[in-house]
Each structure stands twice: as C-alpha cells, then as structure tokens.
Amino acid sequence: MIFTPLPLPGAFLIEPELQADNRGFFARVWCAAEFAARGLHADFVQSSISFNHRQGTLRGLHYQAPPHEEIKLVRCTQGAAFDVHVDLRPDSPTFKRWHACELTANNRRAVYIPKGLAHGFQTRLDNTELLYAIATPFEPTAARGVHWNDRSLGIDWPITPPLVISQRDEQLPRLPE
C-alpha cells in the first residue's frame, strides 16, 4: 500500500499496489501492521456502508464530539465521490481548512481521516457506495456536524446546490466566525 500524507495533519491517501498478471490483479487494501508502523490507528471496531441513488447527493459534514471522536477509513466501492475532510482542531495549523480526494471504484483509493476532522462527500455518479471502517462505535448523543456551505470554509463542491441532501444535513450549524 502507498500512504501519501494529505495537507491536513494526520490525514492520508492510501492507494493499493496492484500485483497484476493475465488474470487481473491482487492488492492489499488493509494491513494493521502497515498502519501501526506509520503511527496510524489500526483497530477499527465498526464498518458501515453509505449507498446513494443519485449523482449530486451530499452527505455531511459530520463528526462526533469528544470523547467519542472518530477515526475513519473511507473507500468508494461503487461509483465515484468527491470526498471532503475539514480540520476542526482549534490548535491545528490547518484549523478550518479542507481537503478533497476523488474516490472512485476504479481508482480504489481510500482516505484515512483522523480525530478532529469533519467528513462529508458528494456523489459524482448515480448509485455510488462508500465503505467506512470506523475506530469508535457510533454514539448518537455525540453526533455533530457543520453546514456543507459554511462560508468560513469555502468548500468548492462540484454541484451547488446539492441535488439531494437530508433535512438534517441542510440544518447543520455554521462555524462561529
């Protein structure tokens, strides 16, 4: 696996190294030892799927409040997504900065999102599915979010406004100035 640090500290793009032959290819997409060797959390306790019928569906920006912060490993297993993470750590040099990765079933990339970052995505194709590995069990009372169109973040979403968004996500708060 190839681990590429992303602009927000602690976030990584992870790409499989394909071992190809006339049958196709084989590649590792998860190895606890390789994660641990880089100081990354390697104990995921929950896995979830997000399936989205329509292109332009937006989910997020979501995070969990302390002490239930989540570490996520997100991969697109069908379709394509504009995957965004936002630094919400006030003491971070990249506080309120965002970064996006193009995750597709074809590029087989994953993004590692550390504690303190909000996460969201917008689908680029119909019938897009994302697979999450999560290090902390979901705690409904700790669920939080930031409005997708918060001006202080300035996220450049591919489709604005989103074609599909939940009422809950549309009503998420904006960050204080």
DSSP 57: B
Catalytic residue numbers, as ranges: 62, 132
2-170 has which CATH code? 2.60.120.10
Instruction: Check: CB of residue 127 under 8 Å from CB of residue 22.
Output: no
- What pLDDT is stored for residue 131 in this prediction? 98
- What pLDDT is stored for residue 18 in this prediction? 93
Q: What pLDDT tens digit does each residue of the chain (177 aa) get?
A: 999 999 999 999 999 999 999 999 999 999 999 999 999 999 999 999 999 999 999 999 999 999 999 999 999 999 999 999 999 999 999 999 999 999 999 999 999 999 999 999 999 999 999 999 999 999 999 999 999 999 999 999 999 999 999 999 999 999 987
Those residues with Cβ within 8 angstroms of residue 112's Cβ, 6 or more apart along the chain or in another chain: 10, 11, 12, 13, 14, 35, 40, 71, 72, 73
Q: How far is CA 90 from CA 108, 135, 175, 177, in A?
A: 32, 22, 12, 13
Those residues with Cβ within 8 angstroms of residue 138's Cβ, 6 or more apart along the chain or in another chain: 46, 64
CA–CA separation, 166 and 53 (whole Å): 13
- What pLDDT is stored for residue 19 in this prediction? 94
Return phi, psi of residue 78, to 5°: -155, 135
- What pLDDT is stored for residue 168 in this prediction? 96
- What pLDDT is stored for residue 79 in this prediction? 98
Those residues with Cβ within 8 angstroms of residue 105's Cβ, 6 or more apart along the chain or in another chain: 76, 77, 78, 79, 80
Three-class SS of residue 63? strand
How many Å is the maximal CA-CA distance in the chain? 56
Residue type, 4: T
- What pLDDT is stored for residue 176 in this prediction? 85
CA 47, chain centre distance (Å): 13
